């Protein structure tokens, strides 16, 4: 999936859903890229950059990926889209896809993410929030890293996904 996303963002492929994949609609761009695996972006919308060119506070929260792709978006403020791969250790997300921006309204982004992954929007939720989807094997996060607002999907390893599904299945219904 990451190879497909990288191809889309490098301009090698163009997919449906172009209405939402627009650098002026950062939550929509995040959804189209990280949740749908589809984004229509022109070469003028993104500039590939190195991981070490991300703001240091964001780099610190993302740790040390083994590989990945990072782009600076041609939008107001400082906005970055990233698809990163990590090693295969227990409790480590092998793949992370996210968008960080000082121009994105965190409440709007969080509401859009929650509506998508949880089916509705909770009012009066804390500034940072996470949603676990054990069935599909990811954790969705809306938070901040220094002056950047961040929307991120952290995919679980197969072992962690199985463990999460087992724990969810044990919850009272």
pLDDT digits (tens, 9 = 90+) for 48-74: 999 999 999 999 999 999 999 999 999
Res. 122: pLDDT tops 50: yes
Chain segment 31-54, per-residue pLDDT in tens? 999 999 887 777 788 899 999 999
pLDDT recorded at residue 21: 62
Q: Provide, rounded to the nearest whole percent, the portion of the chain with pLDDT above 70.
A: 88
Tokens 């090698």 appear where?
12
Q: Which of 116, 46, 127 is nearest to 81 (CA)?
A: 46
Per-residue confidence band for 140, with pLDDT thresholds at 50, 70 and 90:
very high
Task: Kindly report the average pLDDT of the chain as a whole number.
Answer: 85
DSSP string, 106-173: HHHHHHHHHHHHHSS--TT--SSEEEEETTTTEEEEEEEETTEEEEEEEEPPHHHHHHHHHHHHTS--
Res. 90: pLDDT tops 50: yes
Name the more confident of 90 and 77.
Answer: 77
pLDDT recorded at residue 61: 94
pLDDT recorded at residue 41: 77
Residue 151, φ and ψ in degrees, nearest 5? -115, 130
Average pLDDT over residues 133-162: 93
Average pLDDT over residues 6-24: 46
Chain segment 98-121, per-residue pLDDT in tens? 999 999 999 999 999 999 998 899
Burial of 83 (0-12, 13-18, 19+ CB in 10 A): buried
């Amino acid at each position: 999936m990451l190879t497909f996303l990288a191809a889309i963002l490098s301009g090698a492929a163009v997919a449906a859903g172009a209405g939402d994949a627009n650098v002026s609609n950062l939550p929509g761009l995040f959804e189209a890229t990280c949740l749908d695996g589809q984004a229509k972006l022109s070469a003028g919308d993104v500039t590939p950059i190195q991981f070490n060119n991300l703001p240091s506070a964001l780099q610190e929260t993302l740790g040390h990926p083994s590989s990945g792709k990072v782009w600076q978006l041609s939008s107001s403020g400082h906005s970055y889209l990233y698809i990163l791969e990590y090693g295969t250790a227990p409790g480590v997300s092998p793949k992370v896809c996210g968008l960080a921006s000082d121009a994105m309204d965190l409440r709007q982004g969080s509401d859009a993410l929650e509506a998508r992954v949880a089916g509705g929007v909770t009012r009066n939720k804390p500034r940072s929030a996470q949603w676990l989807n054990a069935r599909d094997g990811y954790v969705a996060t809306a938070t901040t890293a220094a002056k950047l607002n961040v929307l991120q999907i952290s995919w679980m390893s197969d072992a962690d996904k199985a463990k999460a599904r087992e724990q969810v299945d044990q919850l009272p219904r």
